[in-house]
Amino acid sequence: MHKIVLIDDEKKIQNTLKGIIESFVEDVEIVALANNVAEGIKQINEWQPDIVFLDIDMPDGTGFDLLKKLSQINFSLIFCTAFDQYAVEAFKYNAIDYILKPFDVEDVIKAIDKAQNSLKIREQKVSIEQLLAQLKAPATKRETIVLKTMSDIFIVKIKEIYNCQSDGGYTTFMFEDNKKITVSNSLKDYEDILFQHHFIKTHQSHIINPDYIERINKRDGAWIILNNGREIPISGRKKESVYSLLL
């Protein structure tokens, strides 16, 4: 049974989130509620939860202030935010789990499921530090992305990604010399980020970096051949749009 602490300054938000969790999620227990930074720190230290839902803006500070005041982060973190698109984009780049207000039931369930399956504590500190740095930086195109696996956390340069391939709810990022990193997120979670760097979707399950294209093979269907020899299919539905971008 995983223990959950909910930290949000709005009682209505607390009740909504509590109701969703109690109605739709198994093997969890909400052990405490808090409505500000000071109370949140107290409840975390007292209960040592496995999962914390953390609001961004509160009367006595922010969720980031709370995290800075903890001596250690021994829980999986899920931000609750109504932030603008720029901040949400920063969460995505840094692989921090978040749910948007007003809450969607499926989003809450998915966030908890990921937290239960992972609970990799050391990843949280690195990701949070990266997130804080991104939020302080100017709203420019970011050059790195954080990829979290079950055992490691990787900070990679986006320009070094050759291609991505989805398999169900997982995505494999491929690099030079056939290096691969597989994460438990769908390809769709990364599309907005990669498209900003001019990546191209050639197929429902494939996105490529055009900088590494060697040629297009138009025989036996259509394929992109990367300069490391990897063959990426072009679906019939994507053929026209892919050709228009490349030719």
Give the domains, in start order, of the chain with CATH numbers.
2-136 (3.40.50.2300), 144-246 (2.40.50.1020)
Q: Which residue has the tokens 């050059």?
A: 143
Q: What confidence score (pLDDT) does residue 52 get?
A: 92
Residue 22: burial class (beta carbons within 10 Å; 0-12, 13-18, 19+): exposed
Identify whether the C-beta of residue 192 lies closer than 8 Å to the C-beta of residue 89. Answer: yes
Instruction: Tell me: pLDDT of 7 over 90.
Output: yes
pLDDT higher than 80, residue 94: no
Q: What value does the mean pLDDT take over residues 223-239? A: 92
pLDDT at 17: 96
Report phi then psi at 243, rounded to 5: -65, -40
Angle between helices 105-117 and 11-24 (to 10 degrees): 70
Amino acid 185: pLDDT = 83
Higher pLDDT, 240 or 162: 162
pLDDT of 71 higher than 90: no
d(CA 217, CA 225): 7
Stretch (H or E) spanning 3: strand 2-7
pLDDT given for residue 95 in this prediction: 58
In contact, 142 and 134? CB cutoff 8 Å? yes
How far apart (Å, rounded) are the C-alpha atoms in residues 247 and 238?
A: 14
Q: How many CB atoms lie within 10 A of CB 68?
A: 12
Q: pLDDT per residue over 118-170, tens digit each? A: 655 445 555 666 666 665 555 556 788 888 887 787 889 999 999 999 998 89
Torsion of CA 172, 175, 177, 181, to 10 degrees: -40
Residue 85 has pLDDT above 90, yes or no: no
Q: What is the pLDDT of residues 177-205, one digit of tens each?
A: 889 999 888 898 889 889 989 999 999 99
Residue appearing with tokens 């949400």: 88
pLDDT above 70 as % of the chain: 84
- pLDDT: is 23 or 237 the higher one? 23
What is the reported pLDDT for 141? 64
Contact 81, 135 (CB under 8 A): no
Q: Is the bond leading into 59 cis (omega within 30 degrees of zero)?
A: no
| pLDDT score at 93 | 58
| Chain mean pLDDT for the chain | 85
Indicate the pLDDT class of residue 68, thresholds 50, 70 and 90: confident
